Structure 1
Amino acid sequence: MATYAIGDIQGCYDELMQLLEQINFSEEDRLWLAGDLVNRGPKSLEVLRFIKSLGSRARTVLGNHDLHLLAVHYGMASGKRKDTLSPILEAPDRDELLHWLRHQPLLVDDKTLGYVMTHAGIPHVWTLKQAKGYAAEVEQVLQGTLADEYFRHMYGNQPDRWRDSVKGWERLRLITNYLTRMRFISEHGKLEFSANGGLETQPKGYHPWYEVAREKEIKRTQLFGHWAALGTTGKQAVIALDTGCVWGNCLTALRLEDGEQFSCDCPGHHPVKH
């Protein structure tokens, strides 16, 4: 039995099937998915159906595109021009699929394997214990009767810096932004949202989130997606899994038991992102 972690699929179902065939994925194996299962690629519906069909063999965290799909489903957001979500929203099993998606976590931690996974990362201003607790705050609301209100308040860039005193919907929005949208951050924990390219777009006074020193080390290897233009982190303990499949680069799987990586080329469904 092996466990494979895969970066942002974003509706690239055919490429996912190619990668699973390449690694000889069997009924004994497990998948970890770093979020953004859907959107921009052509077969988001097929991706959702497949991952859901795996049951407990798949562990996925929610990404910003997954949350956007849910917000549209709940009528709290309008579709965007580049969205490719219509097949899901028109599917006969839409409610069943999105009920399943809404019940996925924002953070997966496995002490035995030695990995923790989020979509965008864990900011240096949180310990692992804090990150798990804050993720659980959002998950509790997402999975409860106030989900529609959560999506009504989810969008926005403020507040952009963690303080324990932040409460209510602003607190849940900030937790969500750290876990699903973070790229560059200040030493004081302030998020920067305008720079979404590679390291060459780093704004003055900000750093890649994984470069800022932590007061308390996270004793796991961190896995994250979200940042297709990044490439690699250069750190063994922080591994970027989004290798830009939807942009014409590749889809990557990391075997957690021994750290070996496998990739398949992707034709891309958008111009390559720089």
Structure 2
Amino acid sequence: MATYAIGDIQGCYDDLRRLLDRLDFDPACDKLWCAGDLVNRGPDSLRVLRFIRSLGDRAIVVLGNHDLHLLALAAGCARSGQDGGSLTEILTAPDRDELLDWLRHRPLMHHSRRKGFAMIHAGLPPQWDLTQALACAREVESLLRGPDHRAGLAAMYGDEPRRWSDELTGFERLRFSINCFTRLRYCAADGTLALSEKGPVGTQPPALWPWFEVPGRRTRHDRILCGHWSTLGYRAGDNVWSLDTGCLWGGHLTAVRVRRKRPLVPVHLDCPGHVTPRHQ
């Protein structure tokens, strides 16, 4: 039995199936970890959702920003002006309610003690240790899975607050956590989020750090798989493995076999690309 972790799929169903074939993935005994952003902008978001859901407990998915945007669109509370055209097929599908209910019940963070890895979509602020990160994820998940999930989805948009405090409560606490788990790339040394910065490492202002390089980061001894950052590409360092290699933009779709005691070796699949790079 093998466990594979894969980066952002974003509706690229054919590329996903080609990569799984290359891995000799067997859904009867293997497991697939998906680092978020199953949907949006690519050509076959509906087929991706249906396929990953069909794997049952053989698939573990953490929510990404595009997955949350789909849920907000479906709930009628997405921020106006945000693209959702590629999600129309899901929103009008006969099985939309089952698919969206399944997606809404996915976690923001997965942690396997047996494998010795955690998985998120984007990043973690330096003030959180693994226990704090998992607790904040569970707070958001509880709201998203409950009767007030529409209010939570409506409140998630925005960049404030930018810095963690144990005193944060309510929707401000929720929004900060969601922004870290699904949007974070750079922050200042004190953990202040810089959510507008999206470029590769080296293009950021001098006062900013990639979240995984911040001095004293409390999760620096924990092994973390993530996606979200296509301009970063595949990167293994600081106990973080970044798996978003820009499949949607004509880059690669990347997977690693998750093993506790062996090095993680990436498998890259060349992708034709479906969208001209503009903003990721």
The bucket for the TM-score relative to the shorter chain is: over 0.9
Q: Which structure 1 residue ranges, 4+ long, deviate > 4 Å from structure 2?
A: none
Distance 1:187 1:63, change over 3 A: same
Which ranges in structure 2 are unaligned for 5 or more consecutive residues? Answer: none
Distance 1:215 1:7, change over 3 A: closer
**How far off is 1:79 after superposition?**
6.4
**How far off is 1:128 after superposition?**
0.2
**How far off is 1:236 after superposition?**
5.8
3-state secondary structure, aligned to 2:37: coil
Residue equivalent to 1:18: 18
Is 1:260 paired with 2:262? no
Distance 1:151 1:82, change over 3 A: closer
Deviation by residue 1:8-58 (Cα, 9 ceiling, x = unmatched): 000000000000001110121100000000001010000000000000000
3-state secondary structure, aligned to 1:262: strand
Deviation by residue 1:104-139 (Cα, 9 ceiling, x = unmatched): 000000011011000002221100000000000000
What letter is aligned with 2:270?
A: D
The whole-number CA distance in structure 1 between the counterparts of 2:219 and 2:141 is: 25
Distance 1:231 1:264, change over 3 A: same
What letter is aligned with 1:11?
A: G
Is 1:188 paired with 2:176? no
Question: Is the Cα contact below 8 Å between 2:39 and 2:45 reproduced in 1?
Answer: yes
Residue equivalent to 2:153: 151
**How far off is 1:208 after superposition?**
0.3
Residue equivalent to 1:220: 222
TM-score by structure 2 length?
0.94
| 1:175-254 superposed matches below 5 A | 175-214=177-216, 216-235=218-237, 237-254=239-256
The whole-number CA distance in structure 2 between the counterparts of 1:86 and 1:215 is: 40
State which drifts further: 226-235 or 89-98.
Answer: 226-235
| 1:57-96 superposed matches below 5 A | 57-77=58-78, 78=80, 80-81=82-83, 83-96=85-98
Question: Is the Cα contact below 8 Å between 2:200 and 2:232 reproduced in 1?
Answer: yes
Which ranges in structure 1 are unaligned for 5 or more consecutive residues? Answer: none
3-state secondary structure, aligned to 1:101: helix
**Alignment counterpart, residue 165 of structure 1, candidates 164, 167, 191:** 167
**How far off is 1:214 after superposition?**
2.8
Residue equivalent to 2:57: 56
| 1:42-53 superposed matches below 5 A | 42-53=43-54
Residue equivalent to 2:275: 270
What letter is aligned with 2:76?
A: G
3-state secondary structure, aligned to 2:202: helix
Question: Is the Cα contact below 8 Å between 1:119 and 1:226 reproduced in 2?
Answer: yes
Identity rate, percent: 51
The whole-number CA distance in structure 2 between the counterparts of 1:155 and 1:236 is: 30
Distance 1:81 1:172, change over 3 A: closer
**How far off is 1:191 after superposition?**
0.5
3-state secondary structure, aligned to 1:246: helix
Residue equivalent to 2:32: 31
What letter is aligned with 2:100?
A: L
Question: Is the Cα contact below 8 Å between 1:61 and 1:107 reproduced in 2?
Answer: yes
3-state secondary structure, aligned to 1:72: helix
State which drifts further: 140-149 or 214-223.
Answer: 214-223
3-state secondary structure, aligned to 1:52: helix
What letter is aligned with 1:55?
A: G
**How far off is 1:83 after superposition?**
4.0
Question: Is the Cα contact below 8 Å between 1:241 and 1:253 reproduced in 2?
Answer: yes
Residue equivalent to 1:41: 42
What letter is aligned with 1:144?
A: G
